[in-house]
């Protein structure tokens, strides 16, 4: 219990520092979605996420919840969260229906498979066109269950089931996503392909490369960028 309290305090302090540095949305997640990351039980995800949401709800902070679990987003919204950020684009059972019922903004991200196997699923004819086509399928399903057009944000999923070359193609052709007609989130901060382009530097040293990626995304129409190094960005 004491460890969880310390984790909560640390997370809240970090979030408030990000707000002070200029962040407008704080993204809170209780499950790692890095390549080969193992799944987290719903109860554990709740224990990690909900206390942080409750603590931050006392401040004027827009909170996005990085989860694929309908139970987690329900509890988070009850505690004061505002946006659902789902790397699995509402593919879990009852996720689509839950998003429609909650009537909150939702980020639909492109990924194939799961974090445990997505690196084997990076075969594309044309990565940008294929990502657009596959996102469109998720979008159509979202609209079909009654999720409102104005609640949808799309994310091409940099680093998810894409190799370095494909990530750079997607970044260079980011503007093509605009034809889908929805706000686009660019989440390339500290991603491995940024490090590979900079001679394999570790994640915490990728701030400058990440900022360059953010600039390229924004120039091509990104509405939101997801950043770790907020002050630098």
Per-residue pLDDT of 153-164, as tens digits, reads 999 999 999 999
**Which of 21-30, 33-42, 74-83, 105-114 is least confident?**
33-42
- The token duo for 193 is 């392909």
Report, in this order, helix, strand and coil percent for the chain, each rounded to 5: 50, 10, 40
Q: Residues of 195-227 as b/e, b for ≥16 C-beta within 10 angstroms?
A: bbbeeeeeeeebbebbbebbebbeebebebbbb
171 has pLDDT over 70? yes
Ramachandran region, residue 164 (left: φ > 0; alpha: ψ -120 to 50; beta: rest): alpha
φ/ψ (deg, to 5) at 224: -135, 140
| Catalytic member of 8, 190, 191, 206 | 191
Q: Is 8 a catalytic residue?
A: no
Read off the pLDDT of residues 128-137 as tens digits, 9 standing for 90 and up: 999 999 999 9
Query: What's the pLDDT at 33?
Result: 76
Q: Is 13 a catalytic residue?
A: no
Query: What's the pLDDT at 118?
Result: 93
Topology of domain 2-225, per CATH?
Answer: TIM Barrel (3.20.20)
| Catalytic member of 138, 162, 190, 226 | 226
């Amino acid at each position: 219990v004491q460890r969880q309290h310390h984790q909560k305090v640390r997370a809240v302090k970090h979030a408030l520092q990000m707000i002070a540095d200029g962040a407008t949305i704080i993204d809170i997640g209780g499950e790692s979605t890095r390549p080969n990351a193992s799944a987290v039980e719903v109860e554990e995800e709740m224990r990690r996420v909900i206390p942080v949401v409750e603590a931050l709800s006392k401040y004027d902070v827009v909170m996005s919840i990085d989860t694929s679990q309908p139970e987690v987003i329900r509890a988070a919204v009850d505690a004061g969260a505002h946006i659902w950020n789902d790397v699995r684009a509402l593919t879990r059972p009852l996720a689509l229906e839950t998003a429609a019922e909650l009537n909150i903004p939702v980020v639909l991200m492109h990924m194939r498979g799961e974090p445990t196997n997505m690196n084997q699923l990076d075969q594309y004819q044309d990565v940008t066109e294929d990502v657009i086509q596959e996102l469109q399928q998720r979008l159509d399903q979202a609209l079909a269950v009654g999720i409102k057009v104005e609640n949808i944000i799309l994310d091409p999923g940099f680093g998810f089931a894409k190799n370095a070359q494909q990530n750079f193609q997607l970044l260079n052709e980011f503007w093509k996503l605009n034809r889908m007609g929805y706000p686009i989130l660019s989440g390339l901060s500290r991603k491995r392909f940024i490090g590979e382009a900079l001679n394999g530097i570790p994640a915490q040293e990728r701030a400058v490369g990440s900022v360059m990626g953010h600039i390229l995304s924004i120039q091509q129409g990104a509405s939101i960028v997801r950043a770790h190094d907020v002050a630098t960005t």
